[in-house]
Amino acid sequence: MDVRIQPLPFDPAALPGLSERLLVSHYQNNYGGAVKRLNAIRAQLAATPPASTPGFQLNGLKREELIANNSMLLHELYFASLGGHGEPMDPPMALALAASFGSVDRWREEFTAMGKALGGGSGWVLLSFQPREGTLVNQWAADHTHALAGATPLLALDMYEHAYHLDHGAAAGAYVDAFMDNIRWKQVYARYQQAVHAASEPFGATQDEIAGSLLLDVRRAGVFEQATALLPGARWFDPAGVGSWAAELPPDRDVVVYCVYGHEVGRTTAMRLRAAGLNARYLLGGIDAWQAAGRPLEAKPAGEKASA
């Protein structure tokens, strides 16, 4: 069955710094062209007998299929990344970037510098979730064929000249800045949540499975500051600093972390601790479900500070 061109998810006349002419041309000619190429290549492959086809011919078709397929998918992600009109990112998204890069500013500096370094050349800059370590990474990609194995791209910056030349000529840096101002962070965060939940499902712990474990409260700093209680015996650790304090945990103890609802904060912290060699899990439902079940809590110690 042929793949179909997806509609633009935003009004192409409404993005500051990126003209309607540029966006429509990019969408129709480059993205639309990739979809049409992919359908044509797949039709040719379907009519090609693999066993009797020369290897170079078969491999050539499969290479072109990969290029067209990834071009289609990355363009769809690129357009899905736009339309934010300067909207702020959700605090958990900012926390995830800070935990992986040190700060949101450090992530932004690296991502934009990578894009500007590709100016005059070609390729993609991708923000991807890497489940092996539960982290976010900025990935360089070229020729629509490079991907970080096992990772899920969340944000895509197209640095082929067709993405900016009509508006900015050779000034690729101005295009990168315009792209950054138009990121649709709510969609990026939704993709991040989906990727984290899919990768972390095997590491959930029920309320009856945490006895004897080292309990870590990893609610966001701003959330914990307003909290009045925590699970009995738990200590608070700032999830943004997991890369610093993970090595201080005893390697021979089972670890269970919890956040508010058992979503991506607790899940990614557990994944990062597992990558550091610890048997870490996250509490299903977080402290909210624990409290709803009538389980005991203890008062937060006065002046409780971050554990490091």
pLDDT, position 142: 86
Q: Is the pLDDT of residue 308 over 50?
A: no
> CB atoms < 10 A from the CB of 186, how many?
15
pLDDT band, residue 45 (cuts 50/70/90):
very high
User: Is 70 exceeded by the pLDDT of residue 71?
Assistant: yes
pLDDT in tens, 225-250: 999 999 999 999 999 999 899 999 99
- Measured between its terminal Cα atoms, the distance across the chain in Å is 54
> What would you report as the CA-atom Rg of the chain, rounded to the nearest whole angstrom?
23
What integer best gives the mean pLDDT of the chain?
94
User: For residue 304, what pLDDT band results from cuts at 50, 70 and 90?
Assistant: low
Kindly state the average pLDDT of the residues 87-113: 94
Pairing type for strands 298-299 and 229-230 reads: antiparallel
Question: Which of the 8 DSSP states describes residue 254?
Answer: -
As a whole number, mean pLDDT of residues 14-21 equals 96
| Residue 302 clears pLDDT 90, i.e. is over it | no
Sequence length of the chain is 308
